Structure 1
Amino acid sequence: HLLAIVNDILDLSKIKAQKIEFENIAFDPIEHFESAVESYAAKAAEENIDFNIFLDPELPTRLMGDPTKISQIIVNLVSNAIKFTSQNGEVNVVIQKVAETSGEVKVKFAVSDTGIGISAEQQKRIFEAFGQADVSTSRKYGGTGLGLSISGRLVELMGGKLSIESIVDEGSTFYFTLTLTKPEDAAKREVEDLSGLTVGILNPHIDEKYFRNKNLEAYVTYTGAKVVHYTDEELLNIKKSHSGLPDILFVDHKYRQREDEIKQFLGVDTKVVVISTGDQKRTLKRYGPLIDRILYKPVNFTKTLKALSDKEELTEAKKNILFRNLHILVAEDNAINQKLITNVLNRLGIEVSIAENGKEAVESRKGDFFDMIFMDIEMPVMGGMEATANILNYERNTHQKHIPIVALTANALSGDREKYMGAGMDGYLTKPIELSALRELLMEYFEEKTVEVPV
């Protein structure tokens, strides 16, 4: 926490001294911002906050700008929203194209919550340094209020304005708009044509029929698939008649807490995708044979496409394949990412050790044996590329057996794979790690160590 405060003060000092530098590089907005926001899924689930993200599929495949600075702003707003929202509340992230010309795209970024809200008087000073709403807020929730000041200045320096709409005890929305240049290779986002597919979305009550799962509906519609909303009663009637069922049915576990209720909706004769949070994995295991896939919140464009189009993955939840006697070292400095990666590896039966940075990873490699190393690229003290070089030198100099090293990165940029392989790494995974990609990579190296167990 102290380090975060120091970094905020340094950032603010750079801005005031006009020494802040902005990149102008090409990036995929959906890939980049999905990864940035995903790391807060575990925190939201812990607080029982419904965490949603909408990234407009109409955004081009490439935009020019400083994705790291924009992500810093979004992450700060998301962090605040979760901090100031009580249990059973909502946090929504919306990143949407509002206008487009031949050379530019205007993009609106908004983070809203159902938290404590901010009074009109407090809104006047909320973007000032150390300008938290009041002293009691700082005492109860922690923080300095520097994050919003930094975010506001960064938005201004990129040609926008950070604004707020808020009602006390109802919630807040922070938003800004940036005009970003389109590079020559920018294109409309192409996806598999699923126009022959009917996708059902189950809603618990008729009055909520068209209000929930708007993001999911937008993603599905973009593929050309037909979306049909069902109330509980409608689906049960169709189930009894054994006709008219959709090809895929999405069921939100949040509204299905009773076991008998869950089973009656999962036991339909179609492919069932359950939307849930990471902390419900153990509960959902009980229904393994009834579920074709689990889609973990926040539901985003990439996850939805996988749920719709990856036919093999639709049966993955029915196969419980574990790995025996595997020990993986994960070099990752972010505590939330550590937890997410550990959870997904543990789910596959794998023992995990954590290194906080590249230097610790090198020392761990020298002192213990691992079957594989997952290496984050961006880490303090020593980065992933340097750590990999040190490990390879150690293995060569001591004639040790080579342990496969897999790069972990939040950015899936063109040429990255070749760069990491050229540095001596053996594989490449993007964060957040998809279970199917992870399992495929592990099967390449350790298929002989797998065992299929009853679900």
Structure 2
Amino acid sequence: DLEYDFKKPDGSNVRLRVFEKLVYDELGRFNGGLGICTDITAQFESKQELIESEERLQNLIGNIPDIIFTYSNDGVVLDAHIGDQKFLKNVSGSFLGQSLFDLVPAQQKEQTQFSFNLARKTEQIQTVDLSIGDRYESQYFEVRFFPLDANHMMSIAKDITSQRIWEKGLVEAMNSADQASRAKSEFLANMSHEIRTPMNGLLGIIDLLDQTQLDSEQQQYLEIIKNSGNSLLSIIKDILDYSKIEAGKIELNTHVFCPADELNKQVQIFYGLAQKKGVILETSFDPRTQELMEGDVEKINQVILNLVGNAVKFTSKDGIVAVRLEMETISGDINFLRCTIRDSGIGIPAEEIPRLTDPFYQVESSSSRSYQGSGLGLAIAKKVVELMGGELTISSELGKGSVFKFSVILKKATEKDPILPSSEKHIRTSWNGMSTEFPARILLAEDNDLNLQLMTLMLGQLGYEFELARNGQEAVEHVRRQEFDIILMDVQMPVLNGLQAAIEIRKLGKKGEVFIIGLSANVFDEDHKKALDAGMDSYLNKPIRLNTLAEKIRDYSLKLSSK
């Protein structure tokens, strides 16, 4: 029985298989032979292709760095291919004949068995992550189970140790970033409190002094002090606003408002400055902007004030600042409010525009720059606009002016009348002696001597007498002994702080039903929430202004009269 290649007379090659029978007589002499010759070219070529295919498959498997196991349907290891894995190298022989579920760590046995059986049952790939090693060194594998045929299962395990190390480093980096962010927020909160406490005295005294009789020169000096204090307060507010946005702690408060009316109110603030500089300030509206919408009008106004203020500031005499408001329907009641602020000011170099919305960045950053500011206004405006689903774009040409555009998403309102935020309420210019119009029995809980001195002057200006508690515990005792209408409660006090005192006062039944106004230099939203959760009715940020304090007392009186 043999095979050989045969070249035919026509030059073609065939593969032949010969069966030869040799015949001998009884004496062992050769009598002849009988043979059959068959052309097996097709079978031979198929066999060679199969051999080559198996070699290719074996080469492929041999170069796969992953670990391949074959099992019986019960999980017994029948075959194993170990790639170049330093931890598992040269141990493949010990796996054969063992149960997979005895090889994996005990704490991962149940999970592995579940995935193996589920892959067998559903005939779909099931994945499980395994950790193999000890407390000093471990390897991590992503193992995929799937049926090979009716009687066999297979797994492919990929070493993901380096990926896990990278993920662990990423998690640690994220945790470090979170800790840094929290530390920064705590620093800013403390900084705010420390700066706002002396500013409370400074601006409060300015408000009181403004209510007295002053000659023109004194009034001029006072105006300079007031503007400087307000500028400093504005810078602190910008820093805290940006910090809150970065930390994701800023929230949208929806009100019903008329966009066109709100724009007019904000632009009117700059008419005096524009007239003084000789700048023409004009507005125009799409008729649809006079419809009522729902959105955070305070934050929209904040953006408008920033952009219009910048435009007026950077536009010189005989220049123009034009503000255009338009509305575009997106779908149903959802609309895009678009605002364009165009000026003929100094313009911005093209290379500077991409960096304008970076925090603390200013085009003119020298110590002698002409235009002052914190460099946070545009950064805050951009973040606020994006928070409301829109975008802020800037285009400019040096010496010819700039165009700032922003859009926000608004919903068409169902109410007939606008609901104004507290910042839009009417403010009286003089509250002197308001106690006759709005009488109230007041308890002041304050431990800081400077703040106490200021509050004494403010309440005296308004015409109110008051009882004093120097800590939270004294405040609770005062309420137990006598009745009050209003408690002005400092949040940070010894013995019991203002929050703890408010909680105790609310437990006093009828006497505890007093109007509590929290006073604090902490300005984050969570501080306000903590005050309300503790039972306070309202909250005032330091520095406390005379008008704001008077309004809070008036709010109590109006609330009482409405009962």
TM-score (norm 1): 0.44
Larger relative contact order, structure 1 or 2 (CA cutoff 8 Å, min sep 6): 1
TM-score (norm 2): 0.36
